[in-house]
Amino acid sequence: MDMDRCPVRTTIDVIDGKWKPLIVYQLKVGKQRFGRLRRSIPEAPRKVLTEQLREMERDGLVQRKVSRRPLEVEYSLTEYGETLVPILTLMAEWGERHKKLMHDAASDDVVVA
């Protein structure tokens, strides 16, 4: 299979970036102002979070709304962006199972005296 035509690669290209899946996770509950997003993902540098939100807006996943009085910027998932929620939910469930598996495997390796 030509990797440039692989649909998994296409998906990865769209959600590529350390913070994009977490942004979707935060926005799945509804629109949020930029400051709230920053507080919910404190490890994300402001510049990188802004860049990834812009990329997501360009890709049609996120909608940005600016209010002038007072100046506020709100982000929300578009209808298209919401289609990622079930995919990321499945990934989160898999991640939980994997963490448990790794924890159980590590516990089995511990010798109790």
Model confidence, pTM: 0.81
Query: Per residue of the chain (113 residues), what is the pLDDT tens digit?
Result: 677 788 888 888 889 988 999 999 999 999 999 999 999 999 999 999 999 999 999 999 999 999 887 888 999 999 999 999 999 999 999 999 999 999 888 887 655 44
CA atoms within 13 A on the CB side of 63: 11
Domain boundaries, the chain: 3-109
Q: What are all long-range contacts of 45-54, with beta carbons under 8 Å and residues at least 24 apart? A: 48/18, 48/19, 49/19, 49/23, 52/17, 52/19, 52/20, 52/23, 53/23
Question: How far apart are alpha carbons 105 and 2 in whole angstroms?
Answer: 37
> What is 3-109's CATH topology?
Arc Repressor Mutant, subunit A (1.10.10)
Helix/strand/coil for 111: coil
